[in-house]
């Protein structure tokens, strides 16, 4: 008797993806989870049942400022960034996301309140998306998911703390070098002006840093 294949929820935006790609997306997610703690078959089936595969097109907003972040997105491929608006209306990029990252506006998602930041898709993103309610349901019903969630959150907490330290203490060159260490291929992913925004420096200053003249 052949093994019954799971029934994947595929959004209209992801309808052109082959079943092989969909399976690869979930395999990558479960591999990430297993790196934190073994995933039971029950949890795997529940995640598949309560999530959906989505494709966010290039230059599309995953989340707009003022909207409530209803879903968490596990990024399989793509490049995204988060930004907020400064008092003068200028956009300030606060973080970059890529494959194997989790895309949410932290405060908006966990508090279910309107977001002060946007999530912008710069390069098409393929994701597994799960609602806040279903994420919480899985936490309540699968003990190992709490362990996985805790262990996967730690690197984000560490990175966020280092980012705050970097802005408060380090100079522009040090922040630049830290970004390159974190995302070595950042300039092949996003335009230089986006990097300058993240580093909170003028594009001309970034050019001097890259040329070793700053």
pLDDT in tens, 48-94: 999 999 999 999 999 999 999 999 999 999 999 999 999 998 999 99
pTM above 0.75, yes or no: yes
The correct answer on CATH 2.60.120.10 for the domain covering 12-169 is yes
The contacts of residue 40 (CB under 8 Å, 6+ apart) are: 142, 144
Predicted confidence at residue 5, as pLDDT, reads 72
Q: How many residues does this entry show for the chain?
A: 214
Predicted confidence at residue 14, as pLDDT, reads 97
pLDDT of 19 higher than 50? yes
12 DSSP assignment:
G
pLDDT of 1 higher than 50? no
Give the percent of the chain with pLDDT over 90.
94
The contacts of residue 10 (CB under 8 Å, 6+ apart) are: 17, 22, 52, 53
Task: Look at 52-56, 182-186, 190-194, 210-214 and tell me which has the smallest mean pLDDT.
Answer: 210-214
């Amino acid at each position: 008797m052949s093994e019954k294949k799971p029934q994947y929820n595929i959004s209209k935006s992801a309808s052109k993806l082959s079943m092989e790609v969909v399976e690869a997306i979930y395999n990558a997610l479960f591999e990430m989870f297993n790196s934190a703690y073994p995933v039971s078959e029950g949890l795997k089936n529940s995640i598949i049942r309560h999530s959906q595969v989505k494709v966010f097109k290039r230059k599309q907003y995953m989340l707009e400022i003022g909207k409530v972040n209803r879903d968490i997105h596990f990024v399989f491929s793509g490049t995204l960034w988060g930004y907020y608006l400064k008092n003068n209306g200028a956009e300030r990029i606060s973080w970059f996301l890529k494959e194997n990252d989790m895309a949410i506006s932290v405060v908006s998602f966990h508090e279910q309140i309107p977001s002060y930041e946007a999530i912008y898709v710069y390069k098409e993103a393929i994701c597994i998306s799960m609602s806040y309610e279903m994420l919480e349901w899985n936490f309540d019903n699968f003990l190992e998911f709490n362990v996985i969630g805790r262990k996967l959150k730690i690197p984000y907490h560490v990175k966020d703390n280092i980012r705050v330290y970097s802005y408060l203490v380090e100079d522009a060159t040090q922040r630049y070098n830290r970004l390159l260490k974190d995302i070595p291929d950042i300039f092949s992913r996003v335009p230089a002006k986006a990097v300058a925004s993240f580093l909170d420096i003028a594009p001309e200053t970034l050019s001097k840093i890259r040329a070793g003249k700053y």
